[in-house]
């Protein structure tokens, strides 16, 4: 028996967007046009035009950007699968960073494209509303150890929201808590970057979103996964519907364990990660987690053509 390819598909989250994403795919492949039009029909407004033309401030709004990144990533995936054939190995795991976990569910046949795009539209809306009820934000801390960030959170009242890679940890908190964290970080010489988000994602300040989102998840059709999904919260495989639904709710208010997720897949002998969707954020994080791991990007017609040439 041939040993399965040690490949994982990974999908980007919020922050990877840019105006114009997916437009070359739309003009080059009829399948891409079908996928973007399916999203437009599902949501009842031209999401595709927002992806291609912006404006940027509308695209980056939480309830818009989440379905926009998802549908662009799905288009990249489906076209690569259709056109590259044997040049795109099947994955032994799929995973996504926060929002990207929903694209991973599409890749593992858990959600249909229509259900996924509707689900993340609701997710974005509810996260935005939670941010209005409990105002806050997120800051990326660069160069600090996990222990130093834990101490900073203890003193400021913030929460660790994402552990992305060595030297990059994101915290969430209320406005006053983040201001205190900012000042503490400066005294310790820690570099910081505010994130363009509308709330304190992956913290307890997102709890107002959980109740309604739980009902929406309960009323959405899920199918058994055809590949294990590595959970953001536990960094362990999800292989049944109940566990997947629980993960989607837990993910709203708990830390995204991206570094641990990549380390788990590497321990399971994954050697190559295909980042599928806009941007190259996850590939950069993986190089910092383990420089020996290989990454490939699938986000443009040129990169898809390169797959076929290999």
Q: Which residues are catalytic?
A: 98, 202
Q: What is the Cα–Cα distance from 215 to 209, expressed in whole angstroms?
A: 11
Quote the tokens at residue 177: 């808590």
3-state secondary structure of 81: helix
| Cα atoms found within 13 Å of the Cα of residue 122, Cβ hemisphere only | 20
Quote the tokens at residue 185: 């970080």
| Distance from the Cα of residue 310 to its chain's centroid | 28
3-state secondary structure of 54: coil
Tell me how far apart the terminal alpha carbons of the chain are, to the nearest angstrom: 24
The residue count of the chain comes to: 310
Sequential DSSP letters for 222-276:
----SSPEEPTTTSSEE-SHHHHHHHHHHHHHS-B-HHHHHHHHHHTT--EEEEE
3-state secondary structure of 200: coil
Q: What is the Cα–Cα distance from 126 to 110, expressed in whole angstroms?
A: 22
3-state secondary structure of 19: coil
Report CA Rg, the chain: 19
Quote the tokens at residue 192: 């910081």
Tokens 């997916």 belong to: 22
Tokens 């032994």 belong to: 92
Q: What is the Cα–Cα distance from 140 to 195, expressed in whole angstroms?
A: 7
């Amino acid at each position: 028996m041939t040993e399965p390819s040690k490949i994982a598909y990974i999908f980007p989250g919020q922050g990877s967007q840019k105006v114009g994403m997916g437009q070359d795919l739309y003009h080059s492949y009829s399948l891409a046009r079908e996928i973007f039009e399916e999203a437009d029909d599902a949501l009842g407004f031209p999401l595709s035009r927002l992806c291609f033309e912006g404006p940027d401030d509308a695209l980056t709004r939480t309830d818009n950007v989440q379905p926009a990144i998802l549908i662009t990533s799905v288009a990249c995936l489906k076209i690569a699968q259709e056109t590259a054939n044997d040049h795109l190995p099947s994955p032994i795991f799929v995973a996504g960073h926060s929002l990207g976990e929903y694209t991973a569910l599409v890749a593992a046949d858990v959600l249909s494209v229509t259900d996924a795009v509707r689900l993340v539209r609701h997710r974005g809306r509810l996260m935005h509303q939670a941010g209005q009820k409990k105002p806050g934000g997120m800051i990326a801390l660069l160069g600090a150890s996990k222990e130093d960030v834990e101490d900073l959170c203890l003193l400021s009242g913030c929460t660790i929201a994402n552990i992305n890679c060595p030297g990059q940890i994101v915290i969430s908190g209320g406005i006053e808590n983040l201001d205190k964290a900012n000042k503490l970080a400066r005294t310790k010489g820690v570099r910081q970057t505010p994130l363009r988000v509308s709330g304190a994602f992956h913290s307890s300040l997102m709890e107002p979103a959980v109740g309604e989102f739980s009902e929406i998840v309960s009323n959405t059709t899920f199918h058994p996964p055809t590949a294990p999904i590595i959970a953001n919260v536990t960094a362990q495989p999800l292989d049944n519907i109940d566990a997947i639904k629980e993960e989607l709710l837990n993910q709203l208010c708990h830390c995204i364990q991206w570094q641990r997720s990549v380390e788990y897949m590497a321990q399971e002998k994954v050697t190559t990660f295909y980042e599928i969707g806009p941007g190259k954020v996850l590939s950069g994080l993986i190089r910092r987690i383990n420089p020996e791991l290989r990454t490939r990007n699938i986000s443009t017609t040129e990169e898809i053509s390169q797959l076929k040439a290999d």
